[in-house]
Every structure is written in C-alpha cells, then in structure tokens.
Amino acid sequence: MLDVKLLLIHADSMSYEVKERALEEAEKIEEERRSGSYEDALVVFTAVEEEDVKAIDVVVDNASKEILDVMDKVKASSVLLYPYAHLSSSLARPRDALAVLVKLEEKLKESGVRVSRAPFGWYKAFTLVCKGHPLSELSKSIKPEGRAIAMEIAKPEVEEGYYVLVEPGGEMRELSRDRPQDDVALAKYPLIKRLIMNERGLKSEKGAPPHIRFMQKLELVDYEPASDVGHFKFLPKGALIKHLLEELAMDVAVNDVGATVVETPMIYRLSVPEIAEQASRFLERDYRFKIDNEEFTLRFAGDFGLFSMMKRVTMSYRQLPLRVYELSHSFRLEKRGECVGLRRLRGFTMPDIHCFCANLEQGKEEFANLMKKYMRLVKSMKIDYVIVLRAVESFFLENKEWFSSLARDVGEPLLIEVLPAMKHYWVVKEEHQFIDSLGGNAQLCTVQLDVEDSERYGIKFVDKDGSKKGCIIVHSSMGSIERWIYALLEQAEKNKASGRPPMLPVWLSPTQVRVVPVSSEYLEEALKIADEIEEAGIRVDVDDRDESVPRKIRDAEVEWIPFIVVVGEREVKEGTLSVRIRERRETITMRLAELIELISKECADKPKAKLWLPRRLSLRPKFI
C-alpha cells in the first residue's frame, strides 16, 4: 500500500544546491532549479513508500490537507516540497515517487499556495534554520485509509557550536568561530585542520577510495552481488584479518579493560516499548520486516539486547564499575550512495564495551581510562588520526581541568567541539578520527559518557543506603572491524604516496613469511625451514610453483608479504637465510633464529592465528 512520510519544518530560512545525480531516473532540471533560497517557508521533507500506485490520488489529497492544515497553524508564507529518501527504508520506485511529488505540488497550487519543489533524484546540500515554536517540527505518515498519523514532535535544532584546541600540555585555546580552519593555532596540526574543513563541508575527497582496489587486488574482501548494498564477502585472507581484529577487540575488552562477555540476539520485536523507543532514535536507519504479521527490526547497535538484559540484573555499588563486552553484528540501512567500500556499511561488526558506573565522577574516571587504552591501540596500528571530543557546553565549562588532564594523559593535542545544548544521551564523546588517503575522515574508537539511558531503560544498582539508583553508562568501542580494515588499507596508500612500501602490520599480514626455494632441489629444505617458523607461531607459506625466482619474489611483493626468504645452495651450506624485509626495502643475511626473534618481537602483544590457506602455493585456488 502506498504511504507517504512527511517531516514538516517551519523554517526561518532554507536554501539548497544541487551537487550531482543520485539516481539514473533523476528528473531533468533546468538551471534555475539547481539552487533555491526561501524564507518563512514550511519545508516538507517527503518520502514515498511501497509500489502500489492505485491510491496516489487519495494519498495526495490527504497529504495536501495535512500540509495546508500545518501551514495555516504556523502561518508560513510558502511551501517547499523536498524529496528526502532518509525518511523511509522501503521506498517506492523512483518514477512512482516522482509522480506523487508532482501531483502533490499541483494539488497545493490549486489551493492557491505558493509552492516550490526541489529536484528529485539528485544529491543536494541544504542549509536550514528552524523556528523554535512547538509546532516548528512535525512528522506525519500519510495513508490512503485515513488522514494522517502524527509520529512525533522533534526538538528544535540547537545553534552551532565552536571549537577549542587543547595542547598536549593541557593549555586551551578557543579557535576562531567564523573560520576555525584558518586559525593560526592549527598551523602545526594539519590533520586537525583537515578534519575541521571536512566537518564544515570543505571536503577534498575525489575519486574511488584506494582501499577498494587493494581489498580486491590482495584477495581480502569483495562485493557480493547476491546480497544487499553494503554487505561484503570476506575471502580467506580477509576473513583471517577480520578474525585477528576481533581477537584483538576481545583481548582489549577482557584482559585490558576487565569486561565480562555476553551475546544477545540480532532481531527484536518493535512491539516492546523500550525497543521501539530506542529504534525511534535512529528513525529509518534500521532494517525492518514482518514475521507472522509482527514487525521486527535488526539491531543497529549492541544496546538493544544489553539494556534489556541489564534492567533485570541485580547489582550493588560495590560491584561498580561493571564492564560488559559484546561483539555486536549490527545493521544500519545507510543511504545507498554513502555505502562505498568498507568505510560505511549496512552490515558490520562492532566490538561494544559498556561500563556501568555509580556516579558521574566514576564515569569520568572510566572515560579517561578507556581513552588511554584506545590511544595505545591506535598508536600501535601506525595510522594517521585526530582525537576529537564533543561536549555539551555546560559540562565543558564545569570540567575544563579534566579536559586538560586528558590531553596531558595521552600526550596529544585534542580538538573539542563545544555544543550549546544536549542533543544526544551523552554529555561528552571522544572519537579517534582517521584521516584517509583522499583527505576524508572516519570515526574509529569512541568513548561516550551517557547520563540518560540508565533511567530511560530502568537500569538500576543498589546504593549504600539500600535505595535503587540509576547508573552512569560509559559506552565505548575500538570501532567496527570492517572500518579498521578500510583504515589500514587507506594508510597503506598514504605510505605509498610518501615513498614507503604499502603494507599491513606484520601481525595482521595473512602470510608473514614466504619461503622461496630457488629450484625444486631445495623444496624439502624450504619446507623444513617453514616447519620451524610455523612452530614459533608465525604464519609461513612456501612458493613451490614452477616459476622463476624473480617471478616468485615479484608475486610476493604484490601480495605485501613482510618477509621473503630465499633458499638456495649458499643458504643451505652456510646455514643462513637471505631475507628480503619489505618495510626497510632491503635484503639482509640472518640466521633462522634471528628471523623468528625479529617477527616474534614485532607481534609480541598481538593475537596470533595459523595460516588459513594451504601452505604450498601450488595447492591454492584463486578467489579473484
């Protein structure tokens, strides 16, 4: 059945500019419609659902009546119809949606309203200033069988915040509010400047992200045409990398943070009030479906099952902070055009740690502790990053010294975005933002100080006086596993551009050592050497193919193998190895014990796993 979603906003001002085509079926537009500017307008963000077009006239009639009713109440001077796919996860076919929008525009014009319609099927940038009265934002669902269902009244948008730079020593400086990216204080911090430019819409990204080429060339990850957009297949090498990163996440959570481990379902009933409330906070970004005529959703975060579990847990103040970990396979219905490679997905793996604390001070201690642990993790990955904190202004002003101490603790500059009002469940959020090879950014690690959800979901602890009180919840994650693979591959491209060899960290390389016999005569010796390397917990394979030595070495270089060992007559006689070290771009002679010690030291504090492919290259299939 046809259904139209409307988000009606009474705006002081609204302007848009067409950027590029989003759909093949995008309507043709004349030059004057490529941009528009409106004042005192009722902006109607619109999404058309389903494919049944028989009820178009009824739905258009009902929608126009609702729009006119709201317009009369708020006294707006005009209407702007703005196609907005984000309002729905079940969109109608483009041609049907456009037909509804055109008919709705005509219907409103027949009523004598001054109405405009933004182009359909195009990516657009827009700027909107919302009025602050109670009816300034309304959401409606228009159905053929009735007038409308009012969904919610949204909070007015808060005014723009400002940035504060905290030096490694803790000194603070507020950046220019008009053009923070040009503040002289950022001259020595180009990555922070780049991030601010990105957040202010001055992005430099162009072309396909290099990590897509790498993930396919290295036979790690590939698209799966039989699945939905944003869902990938992991080939043996990529699956091994993913497994090792998941093991790292578990190690951080259990052995470093001290968390207990749980596992919760991936699908939830929307008839459960707290689930419905939580889902509504990520409106239309979730997968929804029906089973036996009951509506369910796929979780978009681990909070769903964990909070349902924790409301039934009996815990004392003596047991806090209580830390709980889950490797959460999650799903978000991101916009199709935003799903590019491994940077943003619709299906992803998120290692979640939730720490339940007795009060704000304990929560702040936990926040700082987690931030330092993630700092060590990110540094060990050797990627380019910026540390960002986003804080509600009242919390920031009351805790300035605490923010300075965070910078001193990690020994890094911090960028703080100060927000005038609270928009989310947290009062402060930390992010490690990775800067990729195209200048774009993506969040990896995060820590969030949540002051609302405990009360909202009924998560209580028993305090000293026997009373039940709500917790402070510290949410944290090292970031999705898939996004870490994106970051590592993008960093490899950055290294390549700066003259260094592209490679993965040794502990994550699917093959850490490749042994290359110069001829079949030395194959048995090569296999013996591989046996000793494997016994030391190092992933090793043997190139036993009928190829020349230069070809074997070239293929190993293409695969980014960190260490290539050549075995021939001299090596056998002298009991030494000729080792090609990728990171140094040099070949040196060393004994087997020295090679094992070098690699073991490099990977000392990281998870280990055996090879996930046949050790002899002649026995391997080619996946891409």
Q: Check residue 281 and give its pLDDT.
A: 65
Residue identified by tokens 């027949």 is 110
Q: How confident is the model at residue 157 (pLDDT cuts 50, 70, 90)?
A: very low
**373 within 8 A of 256, measured Cβ to Cβ:** yes
Predicted local confidence at residue 141, as pLDDT: 58
Q: What is the pLDDT of residue 422?
A: 84
In a 3-state reduction of DSSP, which class is residue 409? helix
N-terminal to C-terminal alpha carbon distance within the chain: 42
Question: What does the alpha-carbon distance between residue 22 and residue 118 come to, in Å, rounded to a whole number?
Answer: 14
pLDDT tens digits for 539-570? 999 999 999 999 999 999 999 999 999 999 99
Q: Do the Cβ atoms of 300 and 332 come closer than 8 Å? A: yes
Q: Is 429 left (phi over 0), alpha (psi -120 to 50) or beta?
A: beta
Tokens of 168: 């490694």
Query: Is residue 289 pLDDT above 60, yes or no?
Result: yes
User: At 31, which amino acid appears?
Assistant: E
The answer, yes or no, to whether residue 151 has pLDDT greater than 50, is no
DSSP state of 610: -
Give residue 72's pLDDT. Answer: 82
Question: How far, in Å, CA of 218 to CA of 342, rounded?
Answer: 15
What CATH number was assigned to the domain covering residues 3-153?
3.50.80.10
Q: How confident is the model at residue 158 (pLDDT cuts 50, 70, 90)?
A: very low
pLDDT in tens, 499-549: 999 999 999 999 999 999 999 999 999 999 999 999 999 999 999 999 999
Q: How far apart are CA 115 and CA 106, in angstroms?
A: 9
pLDDT over 50 (residue 148): no
Query: What's residue 558's pLDDT?
Result: 96
What pLDDT is recorded for position 127?
A: 87
pLDDT at 159 over 90: no
**How many CA atoms does the CB half-sphere of 587 hold within 13 Å?**
9
Mean pLDDT, residues 332-343: 86
Q: Does domain 506-619 have CATH number 2.40.70.10?
A: no
The SS3 of residue 382 is coil
Residues 298-310 pLDDT 10s = 988 888 889 989 9
* Percent of all residues in the chain with a pLDDT value above 90, rounded to a whole number: 69
Predicted model pTM: 0.76
Q: Hey, do 3-153 and 194-489 end up sharing a CATH topology, with the first three levels equal?
A: no
Q: How high is the mean pLDDT of the chain? A: 90
Confidence check: pLDDT of 457 > 70: yes
CATH classification code of 194-489: 3.30.930.10
Q: pLDDT tens digits for 358-374?
A: 999 999 999 999 999 99
Pairing of strands 563-567, 513-517: parallel
pLDDT at 221: 97
Domain ranges of the chain: 3-153, 194-489, 506-619
Q: Over range 90-94, report the average pLDDT.
A: 81
pLDDT confidence of 433, banded at 50, 70, 90?
Answer: very high
Task: For residue range 167-190, list pLDDT tens digits in order.
Answer: 999 999 999 998 999 999 999 999
Q: Which of 203-212, 334-343, 575-584 has the highest mean pLDDT?
A: 575-584
Please, where are the H alpha helices in 2-55?
none
What mean pLDDT is predicted for residues 1-6?
Answer: 71
Q: Which residue has the higher pLDDT, 489 or 278?
A: 489
Alpha helices in 136-235 (DSSP H): 190-199, 210-217
